Amino acid sequence: MIGNVPSDFRLPTSDSVIGRLADDVVLSIEDLWVEYQTPAGPMQAVRGATLEIRRGEAVALIGESGSGKTTLGLALLRLLTRTARVSRGRARFRIGDGRTLELFSLGGSDLRRFRWQECAMVFQAALNSLNPVLKVRDHFIETARAHGRKDDRQTSERARELLRMVQLDGERVLSSYPHELSGGMRQRVSIALSLLLEPQLIILDEPTTALDILTQRAIIDVIRSLRQRLNFTMMFISHDLSLAAELADRVATMYAGELVEVGKVRDVFYTPKHPYTVGLLNAVPPIAGEEFTPLTAIPGSPPDLLAMPSGCSFHPRCPYATELCVRQAPPLFAVGNGHQAACFHWERVTRRLDVWEGAVR
Ligand code: SF4
């Protein structure tokens, strides 16, 4: 059952178990920093991220490529490459009985159990995440066996059921190799596989990227119906704002490794309070309405993470920037209704396009 501790879940015995998070919080990330070692020195890909995700909630992490979204997801599952490390901060996860895991202290079998039984990740390139020499059935069976579920018949039955939920012909797909399936089918297989051990939290990394528009639509419908049925918590990573609008309860915008705006979908999309979110919204066709709206690109480029600008990292591209922004980095300000924005001048921010003329410094 989603949200309950699986019968064979062995609670870590180390100091990776700590106190309790608030009842409805599944994941709490506090001041998380992730750095990559590069020939030119350490590069901070995630900088001070703080975010809570509540039970049953869907949170979208949005932002341009390279903004740190995927790195943040990989850090939570401890799947960073060898050249990357969490340099500061903590992440806590509340398991079904109310106890809390300190994620960056988990190791060995505890970590393996956390990865599939409590939290699973669906990667954007399904062909790369599925083993090309294994049939789909073997992916399910090997995953279940690795977590102590030895009854292959029961696993196959559950796999068929999950594949039916993602609108695939279970019997045919279980007997297929990944290369025998279309991109959309492989992505659905990855989603079904992620649900096999009934994790509380699913992280979806760009779940519809590289799929054609109709297949994207189908995947969105599948995710929505799975959530209604299974009520899992979801964090999905995307640069696709329309996807966020359709699936998320809350949105968190990332820029240059920082969470710069967090709030309910409606608040962030209709009354954004960070100029970068405004720039993202003005760069895509409106989600609703019949009026033609001209599109505007955000001027300039994201900063070089090895040579960050002083103060607010967005100031070289920001039409509202002042001397204060050049000198100081803004904290996240509470702007009402649980909405937060890392901008000194959030009260002046509007979606007016003329504000952006001549923005780059
Ligand atoms: Fe722009 Fe200043 Fe706000 Fe940064 S703090 S987004 S530079 S107005």
Domains of the chain: 17-248 (3.40.50.300), 255-356 (no CATH)
CB atoms under 10 Å from CB of 202, counted, come to 24
Q: What pLDDT is attached to residue 358?
A: 58
CA distance 249 to 26: 15
Output the residue whose Cα is nearest ligand 1's atom 5.
Answer: 343
Nearest to 71, CA basis, from 84, 62, 60, 88: 84
Q: What pLDDT is attached to residue 333?
A: 96
DSSP notation for 164-205: HHTT--HHHHHTS-GGGS-HHHHHHHHHHHHTTT--SEEEEE
Strand order in the sheet with 119-122: 119-122, 201-205, 233-238, 58-62, 250-255, 258-264, 339-341, 333-336
Strand order in the sheet with 84-94: 17-18, 100-102, 84-94, 25-38, 41-54
Show the ligand 1 pocket: residues with CB < 6 angstroms: 274-275, 312, 314-315, 318, 320-321, 325, 330, 343-345
Q: What sign for the dihedral angle of Cα 119, 264, 90, 240?
A: positive
The letter for the amino acid at 339 is: H
Q: What pLDDT is attached to residue 3?
A: 34
β-strand pairing of 41-54 with 25-38: antiparallel
CA 168 to ligand 1 center in whole angstroms: 47
The pTM of this model reads 0.88
Successive 10-residue mean pLDDT values, the chain, 361 residues: 35 46 88 96 96 95 92 94 95 86 89 89 79 95 92 95 92 95 90 93 86 81 88 90 89 97 95 94 71 77 94 96 97 95 95 65 54
Q: Which atom of ligand 1 is nearest to the CA of 349?
A: 8
Q: How far are the Cα atoms of 42, 85, 320 from residue 38, in angstroms, in the given order?
A: 6, 12, 33
The gap between the terminal CA atoms of the chain, to the nearest Å, is 54
